Amino acid sequence: MTDTRSLEPTMSIASPDVGEAELHRIHDVLRSGHLSGGDEVDAFGSEFASYCDVAHGVPTSNGTTALHAALEGLGIGEGDTVVTTPFSYIATANSVRHVGATPVFADIDPETFNLDPERVEETIAARDGDVDAILAVHLYGCPAPMAELREIADHHDAALIEDAAQAHGATYRGDPVGGLSDAACFSFYPTKNMTTGEGGIVVTDDDDLAARVRSIINHGRDPDGAHVRVGYNFRMSDIAAAIGRVQLEKLDDYIAARREHASAFTEALETSEIVAPVEPDGTRHSYHQYTVRCADRDQLREHLERYGVDSAIYYSEPIHEEPAYDGFDAVMPVAEQVSDSVLSVPVHPDLSSRDVRAITLALTEFQQ
């Protein structure tokens, strides 16, 4: 056993990187007097859309309201069915319920933690083809199998939506996530791959959908100023957008650092009983989380703690087992088993090379 006393104190699971550049831009916005509804929001929307290689970006107050607006913009509402994953942050399924539709869960792939297309097909078949949308999550930054899901969605004339809240900077078959569906939603919560404090965005190539989403998030206002629907205040502020513009400039460096850290951990786990996360062929994982599976997770957590390494469980309950989902009588054996064994360790860009070595050592020295 190595003497762990010389190692750094706790390496936390997340560490938002905001500094002088963000401060300067916030200062400029405050001086301008345009704290909301100014040019920063439009500029951030366009810049983020270009990053995703799509035509439109509509910034929102957070990732949950982005999902809500995208679903409503696609016409999903009362009486509609949205097939989605039970293994995600609860906001994914909640957004479906916010628009009055019903989330129907399909089980996941145990290696990628994402929707398993075969289970999606089975779920839809068991409902005699009744599906209005498929909502895929790129969990932990690992791109979901979008080609297969697109085929299923097209076959059933259903919309396809990406919950890319954790996947800024990930790619699928060479294309950025966000441009792989009818509408994609990101979150800029402080722990995410980039942040605006609180914030989100809907990106899409569809001109009409973008116009509807712009209206939905601004109390139903259309470009002429008439309020044509009952909308919401889901707007982003110019202060948040200004932070986002700086963060977007740094996103590629952030993702490169996350990937470098992840690769060191994966190499260390080659001969371990701890199961490293996979990067499916043709994808670039953004490693929002570096999430391992371990039969004795509690023991691993305690071991990491002794080395000063923080860890977190995302998610200890699959969504259908949360009390708010009583009555959703889904049985999802893979999601249930995975939620008992996953553990995330720090992988964020702020880790020093010493931190990475310490985490690697802690993982290597774990014995069940």
Ligand X SMILES: Cc1ncc(COP(=O)(O)O)c(C=O)c1O
Binding site for ligand X (CB under 6 A): 62-64, 88-89, 91-92, 137, 163, 165-166, 187, 189, 200
Of 243 and 358, which has the nearer Cβ to ligand X? 243
DSSP three-state, residue 31: helix
Q: Decide: 90 and 67 in contact? Cβ < 8 Å.
A: no
Report CA-CA distances (Å) from 12 to 9, 16, 92, 357. 9, 11, 25, 15
Q: Minimum distance from CB of 252 to ligand X (Å)? A: 21
Alpha helices (H) in the chain, listed in sequence order: 20-32, 39-51, 63-73, 91-98, 117-126, 146-155, 207-216, 238-268, 297-306, 333-339, 353-364
- Closest CB 291 distance from ligand X, rounded Å: 13
Please report how close the Cβ of residue 223 comes to ligand X at its closest, in angstroms. Answer: 27
Toward ligand X, which CB reaches closer, 91 or 217? 91
C-beta of 140 vs 265, nearer to ligand X? 140
Q: Which amino acid is at 273?
A: E
State in angstroms the smallest separation of the CB of 187 from ligand X. Answer: 3
Residues 6+ apart with CB under 8 A from 267: none
Confirm if 110 and 85 have CB atoms less than 8 A apart.
no
Q: Positive or negative, the Cα torsion across 305, 307, 308, 310?
A: negative
Give the shortest CB-114-to-ligand X separation in angstroms.
Answer: 11
Least distance CB 316 / ligand X (angstroms): 15
Nearer to ligand X, 172 or 307 (CB): 172
Which sign does the torsion angle of CA 191, 192, 194, 199 carry?
Answer: negative
Q: Which is nearer to ligand X, 153 or 184 (CB)?
A: 184
In this complex, which beta carbon is closest to ligand X, that of residue 96 or of residue 334?
A: 96
Q: What is the DSSP letter of 26?
A: H
Closest distance to ligand X from the beta carbon of 111 (Å) = 18
Angle formed by the axes of helices 20-32 and 238-268, to 10°?
A: 160
When the beta carbons of 91 and 108 are compared against ligand X, the nearer one is 91
Looking at beta carbons, which residue is closest to ligand X?
63
The helix or strand, by DSSP H or E, that contains position 292, with its residue range, turns out to be: strand 290-293
Question: Minimum Å distance from CB 267 to ligand X?
Answer: 27
Q: Would you say 201 or 264 has its CB closer to ligand X? A: 201
The two structure tokens encoding residue 236: 């982003």
